[in-house]
Amino acid sequence: MIFNRFDTKHAKRSPASKLALAIALASGTALTATALEVPAHAQKKRQKGDEQAAAAQYSDAFRETFGPYQELANSETADVAALRAAVDPVRASISTPDDRYVGGNFLYNTGVKAQDPALQLEGIRLMLESGKTPAANLGQYNFVAAQLSYQQEQWADARQFLEAAIANGYTQNNPRALIIESYIKEGNSAEAVNYITRAADEAMAAGQKPERSWLVRGIQQAYQSEMREEAKNLSYLYAMNYPSPESWGDAIVIARAFGSNDDQTSLDFLRLQRRTDTFRQANDYIDYIEFADARRLPYEVKAIIDEGYASGTLPRDNSYVTESYGLAKQRIAADQADLGSLERDARASGASLSTVMAAGDVFLSYDQPAKAEEFYRAALDKSGADRGMVLTRLGIAQVDQGKYDEAQQTFEQVQGARSDLANLWSAYAKQQAEGTTMTPAA
């Protein structure tokens, strides 16, 4: 769960400040760098014919300088002081691509033995720049270079090496996660979120799921940085690809927090939370009670209070809840007695918009979605109807009847301020149609 006991009433003013790191960072000790084998003897004489053409092209200066250190470099017992003393002259003698590869290898291995990350990075850079690194090793070597750059906070260089590692088929240790973290460490949360969004889009275009850890990390960064559209989009993808109470709760809470919602829109968000069983705190229930209003929808208010009490989340000593509960129970009997007349009035020729909408809302709240659907359809034809609200509730009534395909088509027609709400309801209908079950996040 990304947001625990999140207060939607204060979401716009105080973004969450303590969000757990959701992915394991592939740096430092995540991959132990081992010494790379020194290539063939640097002083090997050129031979005639094809062998001469294939022979490494070392400069005379490099042969003369590195030759005496070859045995030292290959020694199983490291003389770190002697190796360090050889670094400057070997470095100064490098000129050809083969010099760079072998000299870089020497610097890298000396850095490993001397526990000098900067020297390791210098060495592996030379090897990669030489153009002589075997193709089979390019992915690994670039990742090691990225790791070393990351440790030294050379963020742009780390990303360049990581992209090269990925391009050369390296997939171990989650290199894309390290790219994401490099942006965050650099203080560039916006680009981290943009990178995650692009990666998610690419994965889905290829028929794959986006990496769960990327989505979680992106949601955290987008939310903390108040990147509203990005937070809503990534949380939607999270719920779609990894349905669980955690992901659905995050998607609904974020969409509600970052939207411009009136009370009735908030009520329909809370209705989705109820159906996905993602209430997290007492305020969720209290908001529901307030927006449903025991005077208007007593049956629904009583039901949500009973559920809140049963869950243990809603305190029984809250005076507002207690008063609302008592009022709801008092009104239910009289309310139910009037259902027949309300139904007749709403079906009458020339029934007003307010009468038809009241009938739809009441029958939806009394778990009679077929009748609610009838009256919401009628409301759509009335002048002055709030089309977004009517379509949303028509879709909810269809979901409650198991008419999931029709509900998706209905939600697709919702535009404007309720579009985020409708998108989530449509996603829920789609998952219900597919028989998707929500499982707790790993």
Write down the pLDDT at residue 73: 81
Clarify whether residues 163 and 80 are in a common domain.
yes
Structural domain including 372 reads 340-442
Whether residue 8 is contained in a domain is answered as: no
Clarify whether residues 271 and 314 are in a common domain.
yes
Q: With beta carbons less than 8 A apart as the criterion, state whether 195 and 163 touch.
A: no
Q: With beta carbons less than 8 A apart as the criterion, state whether 134 and 115 touch.
A: no
Residue at a domain's end among 294, 315, 337: 337
Whether residue 152 is contained in a domain is answered as: yes
Clarify whether residues 288 and 367 are in a common domain.
no
Q: What CATH number is attached to the domain comprising 363?
A: 1.25.40
Clarify whether residues 66 and 161 are in a common domain.
yes
Through-space distance between the first and last CA atoms of the chain, rounded to whole angstroms: 10
Whether residue 256 is contained in a domain is answered as: no
Clarify whether residues 326 and 403 are in a common domain.
no
Tell me: the pLDDT tens digits for 134-160?
Answer: 999 999 999 999 999 999 999 999 999
For 244-282, b/e burial (b = at least 16 CB within 10 A) is: bbbbbbbbbbbbbbbbebeebbbbbbbbbbbebebbbeb
Write down the pLDDT at residue 55: 67
Whether residue 251 is contained in a domain is answered as: no
Clarify whether residues 33 and 166 are in a common domain.
yes
Write down the pLDDT at residue 25: 20
Q: With beta carbons less than 8 A apart as the criterion, state whether 262 and 388 touch.
A: no
Clarify whether residues 373 and 425 are in a common domain.
yes
Clarify whether residues 316 and 415 are in a common domain.
no
And the tokens for 59?
């400069």
Tell me: the pLDDT tens digits for 398-439?
Answer: 999 999 999 999 999 999 999 999 999 999 999 999 998 887
Clarify whether residues 345 and 362 are in a common domain.
yes
Can you give the pLDDT of all 442 residues of the chain as single tens digits? 554 423 344 333 332 221 111 111 222 222 223 334 344 433 343 344 334 334 679 999 999 999 888 888 887 787 899 999 999 999 999 999 999 999 999 999 999 999 999 999 999 999 999 999 999 999 999 999 999 999 999 999 999 999 999 999 999 999 999 999 999 999 999 999 999 999 999 999 999 999 999 999 999 999 999 999 999 999 999 999 999 999 999 999 999 999 889 999 999 999 999 999 999 999 999 999 999 999 999 999 999 999 999 999 999 999 999 999 999 999 998 899 999 999 999 999 999 999 999 999 999 999 999 999 999 999 999 999 999 999 999 999 999 999 999 999 999 999 999 999 999 999 999 999 999 888 776 5
Whether residue 411 is contained in a domain is answered as: yes
The angle at the Cα of 396, spanning 391 to 399, to the nearest 5 degrees, equals 125
Helical packing angle, 228-241 and 189-205, nearest 10°: 40
Residue at a domain's end among 118, 152, 173: 173
Residue 166, number of CB atoms within 10 A of its CB: 17
Q: How many domains does the chain have?
A: 3
Clarify whether residues 165 and 40 are in a common domain.
yes
Whether residue 20 is contained in a domain is answered as: no
Which amino acid appears at position 55 of this protein? Answer: A
For 168-182, b/e burial (b = at least 16 CB within 10 A) is: bebeebbbbbbbbbb
Whether residue 248 is contained in a domain is answered as: no
Clarify whether residues 327 and 349 are in a common domain.
no
Whether residue 382 is contained in a domain is answered as: yes
Tally of residues, the chain: 442
Residues 6+ apart with CB under 8 A from 201: none
Residue recorded with tokens 């002697």: 82
Does residue 367 come out as left (phi exceeding 0), alpha (psi in the -120 to 50 range) or beta? left
Clarify whether residues 166 and 271 are in a common domain.
no
Residue at a domain's end among 314, 337, 360: 337
pTM attached to this predicted model = 0.80
